[in-house]
């Protein structure tokens, strides 16, 4: 008999959005408050795992057609690329740069290349977590 998990699925659709928003908040807070790419990435993959629990792998991969192994590679490329960008300016590897900009809506904001590095970390963490969970999930 198929169990009907309509409550779980309805709650999941709402809650997973909240978790993802929280993870993005954690990610951007990283420089001034506790948080950062690692915990943000884990939290996002937590939301994805909740989706996997409520639905099945096929449905989730239809909603989010992402190859997580490629995500790891893209994340690494971002992180290493940010570090290697320093080579172009003939300063030591991983030297970061920042400045203040007046953005519309946000006002005076500091933009730092460390955020790009952290985005790389964020993507790698999501990619690794989801690859592990999905690989274990489909193997017999």
Partner 1 sequence: MINLPLLPIIIPLFTAIILMFFGKNVSMQKWIGAIATAGTVVASIVLVNTVRTDGIQTVNLGSWEAPFGITMVSDMLSALLVTTTSIITFFVLLYSFRSIGKDRERFYYYPVVQFLLVGVNGAFTTGDIFNLFVFFEVMLMSSYVLIVLGGTKVQLRESIKYILVNIISSALFVVMVAYLYSVLGTLNMADISVKIADVDQPGILTVIAVMFLVVYGLKGAIFPLYFWLPGSYYAPPTPVLALFGALLTKVGVYSIMRTYTLFFYHDTGYTHAILGWLAVITIIVGCIGAIAYWDVKKIIIYNIIIAVGVILFGVSVMSPESLEGSIYYLIHDMIIKAALFLLVGVMIAITGTSNLRKMGGLIKDYPWLGWTFLIATLTLAGIPPFSGFIGKVLLVRGSFAAEAYIGGGMILLSSLFVLYSVIKIFLNGVWGVPKEYDGRNKHNAFYLWGCAVFLVILAVAYGVGAEAVRPLISQASEALADPGIYIQAVLKE
The contact set with partner 1 (CB under 8 A) reads 69-70, 72-73, 76-77, 80, 84, 86-87, 90-96
Task: Give the angle 95-125-57 at the CA atoms, nearest 5°.
Answer: 155
Q: Min. distance of Cβ 133 from partner 1 in angstroms?
A: 19
> For residue 77, what are its two tokens?
């490329």
Find the shortest distance in angstroms from Cβ 104 to partner 1.
Answer: 31
55/117 with CB nearer partner 1: 117
Whose tokens are 């997580």? That residue is 68
Q: How far apart are CA 121 and CA 111, in angstroms?
A: 17
Nearer to partner 1 by Cβ, of 48 and 78: the residue is: 78
The residue among 15 and 94 lying less far from partner 1, judged by its C-beta, is: 94
Minimal distance, residue 69 CB to partner 1, in Å = 7
Which are the contacts of 59, defined by CB distance < 8 A and separation ≥ 6? none
At residue 111, the 3 state secondary structure works out as strand
């Amino acid at each position: 008999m198929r169990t009907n998990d309509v409550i779980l699925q309805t709650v999941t659709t709402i809650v997973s959005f909240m978790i993802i928003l929280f993870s993005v908040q954690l990610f951007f807070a990283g420089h001034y408050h506790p948080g950062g790419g690692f915990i943000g990435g884990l939290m996002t993959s937590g939301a994805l795992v909740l989706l996997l629990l409520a639905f099945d792998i096929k449905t989730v991969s239809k909603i989010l057609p992402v190859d997580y192994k490629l995500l790891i590679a893209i994340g690494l490329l971002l992180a290493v690329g940010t570090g290697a960008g320093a080579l172009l300016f003939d300063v030591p590897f991983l030297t970061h740069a920042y400045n203040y900009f007046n953005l519309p809506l946000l006002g005076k904001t500091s933009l730092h290349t460390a955020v790009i590095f952290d985005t790389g970390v964020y993507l790698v963490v999501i990619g690794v977590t989801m690859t592990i969970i999905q690989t274990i999930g489909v193997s017999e």
